[in-house]
Amino acid sequence: MKRVLKLCGLGCFALLSVILFKTIRYTPPDVAAVDISVPDVDADIVAQKLSQAIQFRTISHPLGAPERPAAFQDFIDWLGVAFPNASRVTERTIVGGFTPLYLWEGSDKSQRPILISGHYDVVPIEGEWSKDPWAGEISQGYVWGRGALDMKGGVVSYMEAIDQLAESGFQPQRDIYVAITQDEEIGGAGGAAAVIAYFEENQIDIDWSLDEGSFVLRDIISSIDNDIASINVAEKGYMTVAITARGMGGHSSLPHRDTAVSNLANAIVQLQEKPVPGGLTDVTESFFDTLGPHMGFAERALFANAWLFRPVIENVLSKANTTDAMLRTTKAPTMLQGSETENVLPQAASVFVNFRLHPRDNEQTILSHIDNQIHQDHVDIEVLSVRAASAVSAHSNDAFSKLSSATRAVFGDVVVVPGLTIGGTDSGRYSTYTENSYRFLPFVFTQEDIALLHGKDERISVENLELAVKYYMVLMRAL
């Protein structure tokens, strides 16, 4: 017995030594300091322009609205006035009705062009705002209004960057296409799709694209002190499934024990029993592997020894909905339908379940997950819509390194990581055309800002606008 204890003691000591050794060696890689000069930017001018941009009610209503054409056309006309130098050096084509696509010709035609994109449509107003959402008020260091953050602030920033570079006589090395799309908030069928159609038709071979999809995150991952610039290399897909259970109809005064509704309830419970399989692989692994060395000692010990602690890490990450959504395809029952009358038993009851597809999943893997989970008769599954998850773009190539250098030049000591966009953006479409598409808006984004996206009192700090213009100027000079 003593011998067994002694052996175990030795084993435990050896294991602890390995864990400790790996933890100590698990440090951030040396990254060379960036030696890039950052231009001065007059933040007040940018804030004024964003204030004007917000005043156009370019609302995307899911069903379309009569006011759309006027506000959208007015916004397009305003771009020409607000950014005269950008207008002078670029060639503009309108695609999809209301999407301006600019070409800023580069000096070196042997290089493939890139695309910088954003959208100017916004979601409708909800809730009680403390400011007029359409006035573009500038106060307390912020520009207030719908679209300030998502994403007229981004559009104004990159247009201002072009305007200032053009004014100084700068010409980019390679061709830069700039899109300002009209309907990202309702799926991009008119804007981003038309941009791709234009590229296809004119055989324009885009090297990579840059659009919204993440930020410079501050105080969002509590175990890391540095800001985290998550330059997202993929985005999740979308799939909605109708699950319909059947039962005998009739009068509710004489119900059968099993009804369509109770069958459906069972099916939902079965479906929800287990999450879609997932884990620390692919882009999620790259994300945490890059962040791990920057964490506190306890977390570093876990990530440095993922070979041993992977189940523990996955368990911890799956407990919070934000990190769980990075690990796997999520599923959310959303709409329910049964009888239309309170005293009638429905012959069918249904639920819509919305899945957000992780890049490792597709329609087939999700259908077989549903099949494994729901084991009862009288249930039909119908796929209502699918948009595949994007391909995962490279993060060890020249494009990512340029995006990363510009970020570090402007934002200083940030940790740049390749991440995964949980929602959908125009890049979902761009990634079907370009090999690499990146999702990143160069704004510092805090926990508090999460509620502003599509929420009330949307605003962006004037300081953030200044940083964003600098970022796009540094990036365009480096392309």
Residues that bind Zn ion (CB under 5 A): 150-151
Nearer to Zn ion, 155 or 353 (CB): 155
What gap in Å lies between CA 221 and CA 280, rounded to an integer? 17
Which amino acid is present at 406? A
Find the residue with minimal CB distance to Zn ion: 150
Integer Cα distance of 439 and 425 in angstroms: 9
Q: How far is the CB of 427 from Zn ion (least distance, A)?
A: 10
Please give the sequence-ordered ranges of beta strands (E in DSSP) within 187-305, or none if there are none.
208-211, 216-218, 228-235, 237-246, 250-251
- Give whichever of 151 and 291 is closer to Zn ion, judged by the CB atom: 151
| Helices and strands of the chain, counted as H and E runs | 16, 19
Q: In this complex, which beta carbon is closest to Zn ion, that of residue 150 or of residue 183?
A: 150
The identity of residue 79, as a single letter, is L
As measured in angstroms, the least distance from the Cβ of 455 to Zn ion is 13
Active site residue 105: no
At position 426, the amino acid (one-letter code) is: D
The secondary structure of residue 292, as a DSSP letter, is G
Q: How far is the CB of 228 from Zn ion (least distance, A)?
A: 20
Cβ at position 119, least distance to Zn ion in Å: 6
Known catalytic residue: 363?
no
Q: Which is nearer to Zn ion, 98 or 303 (CB)?
A: 98
- In whole angstroms, what is the distance from residue 280 CA to residue 274 CA? 17
CB of 213 to Zn ion, least distance (A): 8
In terms of CB distance, is 89 or 156 closer to Zn ion? 156
307 CB-near residues (< 8 Å, 6+ apart): none
Catalytic residue among 163, 184, 211, 235: 184
First to last CA, the chain: 68
Kindly give the residue spans of alpha helices, DSSP state H, lying in 178-273.
192-201, 260-273
Query: Nearest distance from residue 153's CB to Zn ion, in Å?
Result: 10
Residue 310: what residue type? R
**Among all chains, which residue has been given the structure tokens 């990036």?**
475
| Contacts of residue 3, Cβ cutoff 8 Å, sequence gap at least 6 | none
| Of 299, 287, 386, the residue nearest 327 (C-alpha) | 287
- Name the 3-class secondary structure at 165: helix
- Give the full edge-to-edge strand order of the sheet including 459-461: 138-139, 142-144, 459-461
Q: Among residues 237 and 278, whose Cβ is nearest to Zn ion?
A: 237
Nearest to 90 by CA among 188, 179, 156: 179
Question: Which one is catalytic: 121, 185, 227, 458?
Answer: 121
- Our CB check for Zn ion shows the closer of 115 and 304 to be 115
User: Whole-number minimum distance, CB 457 to Zn ion, in Å?
Assistant: 17
- Least distance in Å: CB of 151 to Zn ion? 5
**Closest to 26 measured CA to CA, from 415, 417, 305:** 305
Task: Report the DSSP pairing between strands 228-235 and 415-421.
Answer: parallel
The answer to whether residues 297 and 23 touch, using CB atoms and an 8 Å cutoff, is: yes
Exposure string for 60-90, b = 16+ CB within 10 A, e = fewer: beeeeeeebeebbeebbeebeebbebbbebb
Q: For Zn ion, give the closer residue by CB, 177 or 443.
A: 443
The residues that are catalytic are 121, 184
